[in-house]
């Protein structure tokens, strides 16, 4: 029994390591010249567009973007107040908000850059033997004055990444699946998985990730010019 436990911990550690190893991916490097030239200090995150049927998805993502962006060294406009401001101006649909002219956004918010997020997947799929909560987000950062694209990225996270092996055989698996389904709804795993996906999307340490902003001590020190 303890062997099995040790094995499942090992499996989780391996899963974590593989996540971290994402930092050293061999994908083609991004061109950061426009980003460096723009050198934004502040980022306005617009309410995300949502391709899923989960109405809660934009909230789960929006509530989780401030921390990674702020820790990356940017000023992040208070997301709830930004949302409120659009609402007061009759804009409640994210697609309409994404279509607002950058000049207009600049007049009201005075941001340097705008982050447009699209949610591709969000939610829990229930199956007999397992349930899995998946969040997939992509984003585009643009200069508010020139509308030039500074950066684009995509990230995903799934609750199944954290599940270890189990030694209960088929009955144990069925019980675990049932318990997990209850847990994932009650504890709002969507919010937690959205936090992980947002952090992966917006971490400057990720491969082809954002550059560090002026409020970070690492600003200007990373990713040599190409």
Partner 1 sequence: MDVTKLTMLAALSVAALTGCQATKPLYHYGSYQSNVYEHFKNEDSAVTEEIEALEQTISESSRNKLQVGPGIYAHLGFLYLQSGQRDTGLGYLQKEKQLYPESATFIDFLLKNAKAGQS
Cα→Cα distances 152→17, 20, 50, 168, 224, Å = 25, 20, 17, 43, 18
Residue 78 binding partner 1, by CB under 8 A: yes
Residue 216 binding partner 1, by CB under 8 A: yes
Q: Tell me how far, at minimum, the Cβ of 34 lies from partner 1, in Å.
A: 20
Residue 38 binding partner 1, by CB under 8 A: no
Q: Is the dihedral of CA 67, 71, 76, 78 positive or negative?
A: positive
Residue 73 binding partner 1, by CB under 8 A: yes
| Backbone Cα Rg of the chain | 20
Q: Distance between CA 108 and CA 112 in Å, rounded?
A: 12
Q: Which of residues 102-121 bind partner 1 (CB under 8 A)?
A: 108-112
- Beta partners for residue 126, in sequence order: 131
Phi/psi at 127 (5° precision)? -130, 170
Q: Per-residue x/- mask for partner 1, residues 157 to 176, rule CB under 8 A?
A: x---xxxx------------
Residues of the shown chain interacting with partner 1 in the complex, contacts defined by CB under 8 A: 9, 12, 16, 19-20, 23, 41-42, 56, 58-60, 62-64, 66-68, 70-71, 73, 75-81, 83-85, 88, 108-112, 157, 161-164, 180, 183, 187, 191-192, 195-196, 199-200, 203-206, 209, 215-216
């Amino acid at each position: 029994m303890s062997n099995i436990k040790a094995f499942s911990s090992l499996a989780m550690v391996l899963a974590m390591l593989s996540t971290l190893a994402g930092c050293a991916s061999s994908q083609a490097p991004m061109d950061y010249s426009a980003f460096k030239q723009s050198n934004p200090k502040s980022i306005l995150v617009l309410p995300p567009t949502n391709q899923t049927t989960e109405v809660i998805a934009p909230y789960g993502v929006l509530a989780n973007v401030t921390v990674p962006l702020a820790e990356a060294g940017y000023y992040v406009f208070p997301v709830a107040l930004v949302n409120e401001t659009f609402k007061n101006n009759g804009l409640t649909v994210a697609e309409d908000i994404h279509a607002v002219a950058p000049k207009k956004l600049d007049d009201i918010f005075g941001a340097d850059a705008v982050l447009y997020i699209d949610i591709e997947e969000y939610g829990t799929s229930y199956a007999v033997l397992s349930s899995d909560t998946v969040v997939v987000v992509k984003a585009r950062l643009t200069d508010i004055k020139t509308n030039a694209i500074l950066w684009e990225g995509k990230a995903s996270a799934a609750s199944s990444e954290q599940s270890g092996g189990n030694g209960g055989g088929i009955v144990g698996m069925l019980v675990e699946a049932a318990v997990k389904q209850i847990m994932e709804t009650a504890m709002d795993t969507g919010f937690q998985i959205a936090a992980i996906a947002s952090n992966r999307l917006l971490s400057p340490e990720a491969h082809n990730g954002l550059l560090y902003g002026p409020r970070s001590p690492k600003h200007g020190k990373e990713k040599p010019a190409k």
